[in-house]
Structure 1
Amino acid sequence: MNAVLNHDHAARFLEELREPGAAYFSPSAFSSVLHITTQRLAELAKVHRTTTTRSPDAEKLQDFLRDAANVLAIAVELTGGDRQRAVFWFRNVPLLELDGRTAEQLVADGLAEGVRDYLINLSAGATG
């Protein structure tokens, strides 16, 4: 990933994930960006499958969306604004330094802070 950071990329990315006119992340926008079903999103967030549509502002769902969005925003910065590359990395690349799991798996398990720290270290040039 490119270590040149541009916070404008991250800010635009995060804004696109927000529910229009509301102060929370949109489960449908998030599902669309990640190319997953809302049922898969519910599984990752560890909420009932109907929560994404019936209670999109539910605290547990929003906690997951916020953590995932923040990790993805850093990844978008590190890829120079390449959202597809950031999403691919988030969903598919095993992080050997973090137990060989993907960022998506780690965030779903409540370990977003470790993934953020890992990305921040990468952006600073650390190799682990």
Structure 2
Amino acid sequence: MASQEVHRGRLIDHVQLVVRDFSASHHFYNAILASLEVPITASGDGYFLADELFVTSMDIEAALTGRHHLAFQARDRAMVDNFYQAALAHGGRDNGAPGERAYHPGYYAAFVLDPDGNNIEAVYRGEATRSAASVVISF
């Protein structure tokens, strides 16, 4: 596997998803990551990397990772819309069309299920929260 640049000071080092159908997942993630302008930085037999996301086939890891929720940052609302359309066109299933959410003012997001049923989101938090020094999220 290729080496990656290490970014110190981030909360998350990496997220790994072990998938059933590697080909379908590669097709899906390649499309949604491209819509978010996130490159796949390394790939090989049964794996690929994109920033801190590491996706592997069951040939490399014996067990699926289970269901997860991943939220990718989007630059603007149009990028959220593009993510949603790319996901649906490449094996994703609707789990919440693009739109404002009540989480906080300006929270614009779309949700899809990937080929393994993981809840994948693209979110644009609006200009007001982008300029703030910190953001408080309530659940």
- TM-score (norm. length: structure 2): 0.26
Q: Which has the higher helix share?
A: 1
Q: Which has the higher strand share?
A: 2
- TM-score (norm. length: structure 1): 0.27
